[in-house]
């Protein structure tokens, strides 16, 4: 029996920025703290996803809006718990030369720390800037989608800890139905700026769909998400085609020059 693909659906419209997901992720995976400092970015002291930060709650300050219209209030927050997207076509996996990065039976992307050699090829091939190397051991680390918990039939720590169910975990097909229903509900209530990011290959052809997708209340750039992420290896075939055409053109030019010289001797 085939194990169904699993993933996350994050509904940013109900995120309250409590950071329970961040804490639960660090506790379960025994990740070190990010340090006690003031980043200057509202209540955001983790700044971005990192080798030791597998969940990041972004606090995006902007001029307050109400259904797309600005108001007299000074600002509002966009809140989002970001995570590795476990792309259907994962640049990190395709770039890994040692086989350290594999796709699990849940169709998620997992880094095997005992195989990783710290080359960093995966880091530059992630279109979302998720994966990175730790300073202490040089190996690459990122969200495992709590692979160890999934094997025991337990939901990931971040989804378990979320008090508002902003982070939903489950089978991808079920999550997509949930996301569509939630989007339609918000549109009926007049929240026309709500939309889904990365739910299918049609939404994200550059990565062929994400296993961690989001309901956003603004364009992806506002959340520091790329609007059109593309796995670098996706353009390799086209590059080889261009090179082949160039080589054929050079060969034809050389052949023509040879024939021309032969004619001049006669």
Binding-site residues for [4Fe-4S] cluster: 15, 18, 21, 25, 84, 87, 92, 96, 116, 119, 122, 126, 143, 146, 158, 162
Give which of 54, 106, 105 is closest to 81, Cα–Cα.
54
Alpha-carbon distance of 215 to 201, in angstroms, equals 16
CA dist 266 and 254 (Å) reads: 19
CA distance 18 to 183: 23
Identify each DSSP E strand in 12-153 by its residue range: 55-62, 65-66, 69-70, 76-83, 101-103, 109-111, 132-133, 140-141
Taking Cα atoms as reference points, which of 244, 195, 192 lies closest to residue 220?
195
| Strands 212-216 vs 6-11: parallel, antiparallel or unpaired | parallel
* CA separation for the pair 94, 122 (Å, rounded): 8
User: Are 167 and 159 contacting, i.e. CB atoms less than 8 angstroms apart?
Assistant: yes
Binding site residues, as ranges? 15, 18, 21, 25, 84, 87, 92, 96, 116, 119, 122, 126, 143, 146, 158, 162
Nearest-angstrom CA–CA distance, 132 and 130: 7
Integer Cα distance of 229 and 189 in angstroms: 30
Distance, in Å, from the CA atom of 49 to the CA atom of 31, rounded to the nearest integer, reads 13
């Amino acid at each position: 029996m085939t194990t169904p693909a699993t993933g996350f659906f994050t509904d940013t419209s109900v995120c309250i920025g409590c950071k329970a997901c961040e804490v639960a992720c660090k506790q379960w995976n025994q990740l070190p703290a990010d340090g006690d400092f003031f980043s200057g970015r509202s209540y955001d002291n983790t700044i971005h996803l990192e080798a030791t930060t597998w969940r990041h709650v972004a606090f995006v300050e902007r001029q307050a809006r109400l259904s797309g219209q600005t108001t007299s209030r000074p600002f509002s927050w966009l809140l989002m718990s970001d995570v590795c997207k476990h792309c259907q076509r994962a640049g990190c996996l395709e770039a890994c030369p040692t086989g350290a990065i594999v796709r699990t039976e849940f169709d998620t992307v997992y880094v095997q720390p005992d195989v990783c050699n710290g080359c960093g090829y995966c880091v530059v091939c992630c279109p979302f800037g998720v994966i990175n190397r730790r300073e202490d051991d040089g190996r690459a680390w990122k969200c495992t989608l709590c692979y160890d918990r999934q094997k025991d039939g337990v939901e990931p720590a971040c989804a378990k800890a979320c008090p508002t169910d902003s982070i939903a975990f489950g089978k991808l097909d079920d999550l997509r139905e949930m996301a569509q229903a939630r989007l339609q509900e918000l549109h009926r209530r007049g929240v026309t700026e709500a939309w889904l990011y990365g739910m299918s290959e049609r939404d994200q052809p550059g990565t062929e769909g994400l296993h961690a997708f989001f309901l956003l209340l603004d364009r992806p750039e506002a959340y520091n998400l790329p609007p059109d992420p593309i796995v670098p290896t996706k353009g390799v075939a086209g590059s080889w085609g261009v090179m082949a055409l160039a080589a054929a053109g050079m060969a034809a030019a050389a052949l023509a020059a040879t024939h021309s010289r032969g004619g001049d001797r006669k």
